[in-house]
Amino acid sequence: YDAKRSGTGSAQYDHARHGDGGSQLALVEELHLALAAGQLVLHHQPQVRVSTREVVGVEALVRWQHPQRGLIGPAEFLATAEAHGLMGALTDQVLAAAVEQLALWRSQGLALRMSVNLSASNLLDAGLPARVAALLEAHAVPAEDLTLEVTETVLLSDTARSRAVVADLRALGVGISIDDFGTGYCSLAYLRELPVTELKLDRSFTADLVSDPRTEAIVGSTLDLAHRLGLRVVAEGVEDERTLARLCALGCDDSQGYLHSVPLPAAELTAWLSRGPSSRSPALR
């Protein structure tokens, strides 16, 4: 099973096919069609409690099931969607699919939380919190089961407006996570002022944790800081047992990465969950 390839999930978008400007336009048109035809799908990557190996939740990651090109990863189309005003519609579809899946898992007795990524334009949309509230209510999913991830850079785009949207979302009871923490421009003032519930330690820190003492010092201090603020910390990109052991020694709460599983379609994730902790990792790697 080639974890690295299916983890990024992407066939390359064929930019050469139309020449440069043409391919952008073709991509935008195709994205419109993809949204209308329901070609966007979610894969789910488990989040595993470091101390107990219990699966506590998943992150929903969007992919484009393209009729000709197969599965296309988000790096190939998210920037275009954002630049051409399609991110609102995309996020609405992602959120609807995510909450439906949460409701389905609940009905199967699976208590999982789910994290969904938001983009910059989503945080300028003052109507988003009400739509999230309506979705949760329609599917009888508790707000606590949903976490919305924003990057540090996203929070900079229009701070007053995006802060108001983040505050409204948090007021619903959904969790707020800072994604890729440590790589952007997040000042300590943000941690003081924003109603954040979780930090996701960027994969670059996870990757260097075992080999670089300076990285370990930064990760250790970040964990202390986060815990003193009452925040949960999820390490992204955990690929090996040594890294997980070091995260455990440092007191990191949760972990996500190819060590546990690549992002999987919901049905495959359900099957993976039912195999039990001891047989999970070998089956995937």
- Interface residues toward ligand C2E, by CB under 6 A: 7-9, 45, 61-62, 73-75, 78, 94, 117-119, 149, 179-180, 203, 236-239, 257-258, 263
Q: How far is the C-alpha of 233 from the C-alpha of 245, rounded, in Å?
A: 15
Contact status, residue 3 vs residue 285, Cβ threshold 8 Å: yes
- CB closer to ligand C2E, 43 vs 170: 43
Nearest to ligand C2E of 179, 253 (CB atom): 179
Do residues 71 and 65 make contact, with C-beta atoms less than 8 angstroms apart?
A: yes
Task: Work out what residue 61 binds among ligand C2E, Mg ion, none; the CB cut-off runs from 5 to 8 Å by kind.
Answer: ligand C2E
| DSSP code of residue 15 | G
Element (DSSP H or E) covering residue 117: strand 113-117
Of the pair 71, 133, the CB lying nearest ligand C2E is at 71
Nearer to ligand C2E, 236 or 254 (CB): 236
Q: How far is the CB of 216 from ligand C2E (least distance, A)?
A: 18
Total residue length of the chain: 285
* End-to-end C-alpha distance for the chain, whole angstroms: 6
What x/- string results for residues 172 through 211 when contact with Mg ion is judged by CB under 5 A? -------xx----------------------x--------
**DSSP string of 16-84, one letter each residue:** GGT-HHHHHHHHHHHHHHHHHHT-EEEEEEEEEETTT--EEEEEEEEEEEETTTEEE-GGGTHHHHHHT
Closest residue (Cβ) to ligand C2E? 257
Number of residues that bind Mg ion (CB under 5 A): 6
Rounded-to-integer distance, Cα 80 and Cα 87, Å? 9
Q: In this complex, which beta carbon is closest to ligand C2E, that of residue 19 or of residue 98?
A: 98
* Partner whose footprint covers residue 129, from Mg ion, ligand C2E, none (CB < 5 to 8 Å by kind): none
Binding part of the chain for Mg ion, among 10-18, 186-194, 231-239, 266-274 by CB under 5 A, reads 231-239
Compute φ and ψ for 112, nearest 5 degrees.
Answer: -125, 145
Of these partners, ligand C2E, Mg ion, none, which one is at the site of residue 62 (CB under 5 to 8 Å by kind)? ligand C2E
Q: Least separation, in Å, of the C-beta of 228 and ligand C2E? A: 25
Of ligand C2E, Mg ion, none, which one sits near residue 257, judging by CB under 5 to 8 A according to partner kind? Answer: ligand C2E
**Of 182 and 263, CB closest to ligand C2E:** 263
The candidate with the shortest Cα–Cα distance to 42, out of 94, 100, 114, is 94
Closest CA to 194 of 213, 217, 168: 168
- Residues in contact with Mg ion by CB under 5 A are 117, 149, 179-180, 203, 236
